[in-house]
Amino acid sequence: MHWPIRNQILLPFAMLQGLAIAVISLSASWIAADRAERESIARLDQVVGTLSASSFPVRGPVLEQMKGLSGADFIAASDSGTITATTLPESTATGIIAAPRTVSTDSRKLGEFQPLSINGERWLVGGVQVLRSSELKELLVLVPEREWQAVRREVILPPLLIGGCTMLAMVVLSWVIAAKLGARLDRMQHHVGKLATLQFENLLPVTGHDELSSLATSINHMAQGLQQATQQIRMAERTALIGQVAGGLAHQLRNSITGARMAIQLHLRRSHDANKESLQVAIRQLNLTENQIFGLLSLTRDSRQPVVAGHIHEIMNTIRELLEPQFQHSESSLEIELSAEIMQDQLAVNDSEQIQAALLNLVQNALEASRPGGSVRVIVSILESMIQVDVLDNGPGVADAVRGKIFDPFVTGKPEGVGLGLTLAAQAAESSGGSLNYLRLDQWTQFRFQVRRHVSELTCEN
């Protein structure tokens, strides 16, 4: 059986408070009724004491005055039981005198009130025996039971009403609190259920400053963490799948391109045509395509495969030779700035093939972004133990929609793009102890590629 936690918390407290309010209300009512009864009897005792101790005859007018003061009816009787004065009708008074009753021997105190039913009406009768008067031997005090009950109701009802209103307010307040807590818990339960089905669209609203608010905040943090982890897992799965497909396809394409290049080179050696420039361009384009395919192969390259170090200036010269036909075709300019320090030291990088593929991709992206007639600048400099390559173009820059995630796999602003070039470039920089960052400077788009300098035998040989 489902027993909500809000009921487990609030219901015992509500029952305890309700019991306390009921006990307090009933006790207050009983005390008030007893006090009212004692006060009424005390007033009647004063009246009776005055009448029993008086030296004047007790007649009807005197009793009528006492009735007006006390609200009770009186019957005065002689020693023989004859009614000498009364405030009641004669028949009612006669029936009461004839009924058995208890009379107090104390001339100043009433005896216990006894219920009597005369002529269809119930009375509460108390009496006192008068010893000092020769005419008056017994004085009875009569109160209609309905009036006595009305007095008791007047003093009992207020505490009961107050207690009842308090209990009702407590029940309503407890229900409101329980409903709010229940609604918040239900929202959390529903939200956690959505998280279990990997639905991370909406965050849980955080209201108040209590433990449930802290729990909601923790659930939101958990949801964000799960969302990021889920995205990373999905991206890793997609990357692994695409990598497997791309690796197999790239191997086949690379073999085909190698065969085509060898065929063209063989034709060049056998051909006597003086104009061989078009064939040289074809070979460079094949080399460019082979380098681009190598970028795909780096996704699935075995980490145990040895890397080949190389000089940064040789890498930049190779990139210039590979991309020169494309720059000429688009009538764009390419400037590669190498400091004298770089040329003298002939700085080396650890994985020349991967870094060349990454830089080739960055420069080609800059060419495409600068549009025909644009300008591309490549500035190679030394920053402490790092080699820094800044690739700048005067194109419009990266679109706002993809700016924050341009280095994620399969994210691209080009309609025909795959979204792997910048991912591979960033991977190449990180694997060489560096980084790849994007900046927008005035009218220039800049990609800053940094890798760690490599000290090897290449430097010594040169």
Q: What is the pLDDT of residues 410-442, one digit of tens each?
A: 777 766 666 777 888 888 888 888 999 999 888
Please check whether residues 238 and 203 belong to one and the same domain.
Answer: yes
pLDDT at residue 454, rounded to an integer: 72
Return the percentage of the chain with pLDDT > 90, whole number. Answer: 7
Q: Mean pLDDT lowest for which of 47-51, 59-63, 149-153, 318-322?
A: 47-51
Write out the two tokens for 306. Answer: 């040895």
> What whole-number distance in Å separates Cα of residue 225 and Cα of residue 202?
14
Buried b (16+ CB within 10 A) or exposed e, 163-189: beeebeebeeebeeebeebbebeebee
Domain end residue (candidates: 287, 305, 323): 305
Average pLDDT, the chain: 77
Please check whether residues 288 and 313 belong to one and the same domain.
Answer: no
Write out the two tokens for 385. Answer: 């133990």
pLDDT of 377 higher than 90: yes
Q: What is the pLDDT of residues 202-245, one digit of tens each?
A: 777 777 777 777 888 888 888 888 888 888 888 777 767 766 66
pLDDT at residue 459, rounded to an integer: 44
372 Cβ contact list (under 8 Å, min separation 6)? 330, 331, 332
Please check whether residues 231 and 316 belong to one and the same domain.
Answer: no
Among the listed residues 220, 192, 222, 225, the one whose alpha carbon sits nearest the alpha carbon of residue 206: 220
Identify whether 187 is part of a domain. Answer: no
Vertex 70 angle, CA 64 and 73, to 5°: 50
pLDDT at residue 462, rounded to an integer: 43
Identify whether 277 is part of a domain. Answer: yes
Top-confidence residue, 114 or 19: 19
Identify whether 188 is part of a domain. Answer: no
pLDDT at residue 262, rounded to an integer: 76
User: What mean pLDDT do residues 6-11 have?
Assistant: 69
Q: DSSP states of 431-448 as a string?
A: HTT-EEEEEEETTEEEEE
Please check whether residues 20 and 128 belong to one and the same domain.
Answer: yes
Q: Left, alpha or beta for 262 (phi > 0: left; psi -120 to 50: alpha)? A: alpha
pLDDT of 461 higher than 50: no
Top-confidence residue, 413 or 72: 72
Please check whether residues 301 and 331 belong to one and the same domain.
Answer: no
Please check whether residues 300 and 312 belong to one and the same domain.
Answer: no
Residue 262 belongs to domain spanning: 198-305
Q: DSSP states of 85-131 as a string?
A: EESS-HHHHHHHHHS---EESSTTS----EEEEETTEEEEEEEEE--
- Domain count of the fold of the chain: 3
Domain end residue (candidates: 305, 326, 356): 305
pLDDT of 155 higher than 90: no
Please check whether residues 319 and 431 belong to one and the same domain.
Answer: yes
pTM score, whole prediction: 0.47
> What whole-number distance in Å separates Cα of residue 73 and Cα of residue 67?
6
Among the listed residues 226, 253, 71, 229, the one whose alpha carbon sits nearest the alpha carbon of residue 146: 71
pLDDT of 201 higher than 80: no
Identify whether 166 is part of a domain. Answer: no
Q: What is the pLDDT of residues 311-368, one digit of tens each?
A: 888 888 888 887 888 888 888 999 999 877 777 666 678 788 888 888 988 998 899 8
> What whole-number distance in Å separates Cα of residue 44 and Cα of residue 38?
10
Strand pairing partners for 386?
A: 383, 452
Q: What is the pLDDT of residues 128-141, one digit of tens each?
A: 766 555 666 777 78
Determine contact, residues 324/366, Cβ cutoff 8 Å.
no
Q: What is the pLDDT of residues 252-280, one digit of tens each?
A: 676 777 777 777 777 777 776 656 666 77
Top-confidence residue, 304 or 229: 229
Please check whether residues 37 and 79 belong to one and the same domain.
Answer: yes
Please check whether residues 276 and 319 belong to one and the same domain.
Answer: no
Q: What is the pLDDT of residues 31-50, one digit of tens each?
A: 877 777 777 777 777 776 76
Identify whether 171 is part of a domain. Answer: no
Domain end residue (candidates: 305, 336, 360): 305
Q: What CATH number has the domain bearing residue 328?
A: 3.30.565.10
Helix (H) or strand (E) holding 381: strand 375-383
Q: How confident is the model at residue 304 (pLDDT cuts 50, 70, 90)?
A: very low
Top-confidence residue, 429 or 292: 429
pLDDT of 87 higher than 70: yes
> What whole-number distance in Å separates Cα of residue 392 and Cα of residue 335?
10
> What whole-number distance in Å separates Cα of residue 357 and Cα of residue 425?
8
Q: How confident is the model at residue 449 (pLDDT cuts 50, 70, 90)?
A: very high
Return the percentage of the chain with pLDDT > 70, whole number. Answer: 78
User: What mean pLDDT do residues 88-108 have?
Assistant: 70
Identify whether 165 is part of a domain. Answer: no
Please check whether residues 219 and 341 belong to one and the same domain.
Answer: no
Q: Mean pLDDT lowest for which of 62-76, 211-225, 348-362, 448-462?
A: 448-462
Please check whether residues 110 and 231 belong to one and the same domain.
Answer: no
pLDDT of 456 higher than 80: no
Please check whether residues 363 and 294 belong to one and the same domain.
Answer: no
Write out the two tokens for 445. Answer: 């788009």
Q: From the centroid of its chain, how far is CA 8? A: 23
> What whole-number distance in Å separates Cα of residue 30 and Cα of residue 26?
6
pLDDT at residue 419, rounded to an integer: 72
Identify whether 178 is part of a domain. Answer: no
Residue type, 125: V
User: What mean pLDDT do residues 105-130 have?
Assistant: 67
> What whole-number distance in Å separates Cα of residue 294 and Cα of residue 322?
14
